Amino acid sequence: MNPLSITQQQVTKYLPERPRDSHKGLFGSVCVIGGAPGMTGAALLAGRAALKLGAGCVHVGLLSDNPPTVDYTQPELMLHNAKTAMQLPGVTVLAIGCGMGQAPPGLLLEAIQTDAALVLDADVLNILAQRPDLGRRLNATNRAIVLTPHPGEAARLLACSTEEIQADRINAVQQLAQRYGCAVVLKGADSLCATSEGLFINHTGNPGMSAPGMGDVLTGMIAAFLAQGLTADHALLLAVHLHGAAGDELAKFKIAIGMTATEVTDMARRLLNNWIAQP
């Protein structure tokens, strides 16, 4: 199957128009779980991206031994320890894995037992690879779920080598979508997205995005769009295309070497608002 190219015209239509009398309660509540000792920044990057791409409320549950109580760069975020965050009422989207480290499998099981939409990234995918029973439970749930593996994580999930994944990326992303019953992006140059609407390839993005935190930002963006009511398929396609487009826009200003994930978040917000404003 030849994948279809994701286009700006296609994904811009996914985000609904905001009514004049809107309020934050209409745009969902995201909770990011991650940030083990030494990796707090990963969870904060995802939380900031979720906030800046339109989620109504954003909580961050940190696994760090001594987590901060406020993000002074983004004080709108609500910070908790991970255990407290997992029990918060009204959370509509859980994004788990950013900087999670070697967390216990119980966190993923607890997430599966909630009613929230799920975005699974990074370290939580390694738990999923080690626990086929949790994969079966994921597949049996009827909710929005998105997996965001890079080739190494995909290899662990499919019990093969990274070289085998890269040799047949289309087959790999389709296998993952079928196994876990959800939308999947296989990240990399020309990321592949397997959705219930078909297979898509993304052509935005550039080598300048080979930098820390880019995947965390993508996770936060997907979570933001899920919180605003998009389907798993549409949230994934919009986030992947916009994420790369933001990197491309930065590259136009000769910001390629040394591009940061924070800059991509800010540019993605600007681009999305520009796209929506176009007649």
Which residue spans within the chain are E strands per DSSP? 4-5, 29-34, 57-62, 78-81, 93-96, 117-120, 145-147, 183-186, 192-195, 198-201
Q: What angle (nearest 5°) sits at the alpha carbon of residue 143, between those of residues 16 and 106?
A: 125
In contact, 193 and 236? CB cutoff 8 Å: yes
Reported as a pLDDT band with limits 50, 70 and 90, residue 1 is confident
Please say whether the structural domain 4-277 has been given the CATH code 3.40.50.2000: no
pLDDT (average), residues 62-77: 93
Which tens digit of pLDDT belongs to each residue from 75-105? 999 999 999 999 999 999 999 999 998 878 8
| pLDDT for the residue numbered 105 | 85
Which pair of tokens denotes residue 67? 């987590």
Distance between CA atoms of 140 and 200, rounded to whole angstroms?
24
pTM > 0.95: yes or no: yes
Ramachandran angles phi, psi of 223, nearest 5° = -60, -40
Distance between CA atoms of 266 and 188, rounded to whole angstroms?
21
Domain map (residue ranges) of the chain: 4-277
With a CB cutoff of 8 Å and minimum separation 6, the contacts of 56 are: 23, 24, 25, 26, 27, 28, 29, 227
Which tens digit of pLDDT belongs to each residue from 210-226? 999 999 999 999 999 99
Q: Which run of H or of E encompasses 273?
A: helix 261-277
Distance between CA atoms of 43 and 46, rounded to whole angstroms?
5
Say which DSSP state 115 is in: S
Distance between CA atoms of 202 and 237, rounded to whole angstroms?
8
Ramachandran angles phi, psi of 79, nearest 5° = -100, 140
Instruction: Read off the amino acid at residue 127.
Output: I
Res 65 pLDDT > 90: no
Instruction: Read off the amino acid at residue 162.
Output: T
Percent of the chain with pLDDT over 90: 92
Q: What is the CA radius of gyration of the chain?
A: 17
Reported as a pLDDT band with limits 50, 70 and 90, residue 246 is very high
Distance between CA atoms of 264 and 242, rounded to whole angstroms?
10
Distance between CA atoms of 116 and 195, rounded to whole angstroms?
19
Which tens digit of pLDDT belongs to each residue from 8-25? 999 999 998 899 999 999
Which pair of tokens denotes residue 79? 């910070």
